[in-house]
Structure 1
Amino acid sequence: MQRRHLLLSAPALAGGCALLEPPAPPSAHAGSQRALALAVPGLAEPVRCWLYEPAGYATQGRPWPLLVFLHGSGERGSELERVAAHGPPRHARAGRSYPWLMCSPQLDAGRRWQPDALHALLGALRQGWHIDATRVLASGLSLGGAGVWDWAAAHPQDLAAIAPVCGYADARTVCAARAVPVRAYHGDADSVVPLAAQQAPVAALQACGGQAELIVYPGVGHDSWTPAYNDPALQPWLLAQVRR
């Protein structure tokens, strides 16, 4: 199957800045993560992203689950290295293995995640990679957490589950995502995105028959992504989800 992407060159990635952290040697069973500029029909510019392929992807002719990771406001811009500062792309760089394909796109400075653009990105990924359409997952932190909430409400048919971290959403819109299970995370000492901003959509989704839970970390501020993406229960929960 032909892949519609361009491999970013090293100078384009560097952007004049050093790596955020030295990558750890990958384990023998780790996948590979590389930088891409992905052509997406309907979008004027290619999408900059990290693309992770799990070990065995190239040799096993089967569809794989896909996780789309959405970064926060501090990682916007044109330097893709920023996206690997936190969460799954950071862990993949350090050698952590994941049992899914993973795309971590980057927003331009000042932009917000748009559900229609994410829907189009998913279409491009499904054209270029072997993806199980019933097991598309999304997670994001802060602005990215809001992005996955909005995506699930606008295009619930795209997603099997979401895991927003220190995110927020309009509680009046989330019932459109009642078929999309949610495992959300937040710190109760978050002064950037107050806990109530995620409690409200979780409660609203539960009230309209959705499956949603909120894991709250006592004494943790905005950086709830560190414990969330190290939660040993998160990966099994995501893998267990299949789109209804």
Structure 2
Amino acid sequence: MLKHTYRLLALLLLLLASIDAQAQQGELDAYERKMYTNGNDTLPYRILYPKGFNPSKKYPLVLVLHGAGERGNNNEAQLVYGAKRFLEEQEQFPAIVVFPQCPKDSYWSNVDIVKDETGERIFNFQDSGKPTEAMQSLLGLLKQLRKSGYVDKDRVYLGGLSMGGMGTFELLRRKPSTFAAAFPICGGGAPESAKKYAKKVDLWIFHGEVDSVVPVEHSKAMAKSLEEAGSDVKLTVYPGVNHNSWDYAFKEPELLSWIFSHKKK
């Protein structure tokens, strides 16, 4: 009898989890499915338009880059982190919010990742070099969106987590005059590139203190170089937090108000 009760409870919990997941996915259907195409370059993305969207008006644009685990082509996985926050505060902060999806065989950043003799991953961030296929498509998508006629070019924002945090730093160095503010989460970049955008873009950087995937030192190094180059940079390190610092960053009460308070310098 007791074993039967446990089975029923387990089934009930699974059913409730499934209903909750479906409800959340239903909410995120507000993000329309789109595909960027230019020759052989393609990039699936989801886009949230403000309520009462009027293409004759101009709106802020937010570009959010996901991590390596959300790569693929289903045009869904990239919404798992952060998308709900922008949707929930859409009334207060009306904006166009875009979540592109990186292909499984590509990477947002052209970082060179190698393993040392202990098997630990070493991230060698590049200050130049050819963009990855995903970054090339992302650059094309960004150009297309900025030319749409309904984007306020003084209020274009960028952020991302893990691989997307790395892509954030790289996109800033490739397009240093495009963005008003950026929020890289548990990422990293080439500290020597910070001077290219330090005085043009304000940043709020997030990282977990005990990140075992992408060491916090990478964010600290970027923050130090940005500050030395004259940037108004904020660094938030979460004590005792591992790689999932995005869970905390996207719950920061002031995150969206901080983002949308900025205009291009």
TM-score (norm 1): 0.82
Q: 1:222 aligns with which of 243, 248, 258?
A: 243
Partner-residue secondary structure (3-state), 1:215: strand
Equivalent in the alignment of 1:21: 21
1:84-163 equivalent positions in 2, closer than 5 A: 84-87=79-82, 89-91=83-85, 95-97=88-90, 98-113=93-108, 114=131, 115-128=135-148, 130-163=150-183
Partner-residue secondary structure (3-state), 1:23: helix
Measure the CA separation in 1 of the matches of 2:231 and 2:81: 29
Partner-residue secondary structure (3-state), 1:46: strand
- Alpha carbons 2:220, 2:235 under 8 Å: kept: yes
Measure the CA separation in 1 of the matches of 2:31 and 2:169: 26
Equivalent in the alignment of 1:34: 32
Q: Deviations over 1:55-109 (max 9, x none)?
A: 1223x7421000000000001111222112212x24457x552521011101111
Partner-residue secondary structure (3-state), 1:80: coil
Change (3 A) 1:128 1:226: same
Measure the CA separation in 1 of the matches of 2:192 and 2:19: 41
Change (3 A) 1:31 1:57: farther
Partner-residue secondary structure (3-state), 1:199: helix
Partner-residue secondary structure (3-state), 2:251: coil
Partner-residue secondary structure (3-state), 1:21: helix
Identity of aligned residues (%): 28
Change (3 A) 1:134 1:92: closer
Equivalent in the alignment of 1:74: 69
Counterpart of 2:34, as a letter, is: L
Measure the CA separation in 1 of the matches of 2:223 and 2:86: 29
- Alpha carbons 2:191, 2:221 under 8 Å: kept: yes
Q: Deviations over 1:104-153 (max 9, x none)?
A: 10111131114554332111112335100011000100000010111111
TM-score (norm 2): 0.76
Equivalent in the alignment of 2:229: 208
Gapped regions of structure 1 (runs ≥ 5): 1-17
Change (3 A) 1:209 1:92: closer
Structure showing greater Rg: 2
Q: CA deviation at 1:186?
A: 0.7
Measure the CA separation in 1 of the matches of 2:224 and 2:19: 40
Gapped regions of structure 2 (runs ≥ 5): 1-17, 109-130
Partner-residue secondary structure (3-state), 2:40: coil
Change (3 A) 1:44 1:19: farther
Measure the CA separation in 1 of the matches of 2:239 and 2:65: 24
Partner-residue secondary structure (3-state), 1:22: helix
Q: How many residues align?
A: 219
Equivalent in the alignment of 2:48: 52
Q: CA deviation at 1:22?
A: 2.0
Measure the CA separation in 1 of the matches of 2:29 and 2:148: 18
Partner-residue secondary structure (3-state), 1:194: coil
- Alpha carbons 2:41, 2:137 under 8 Å: kept: no
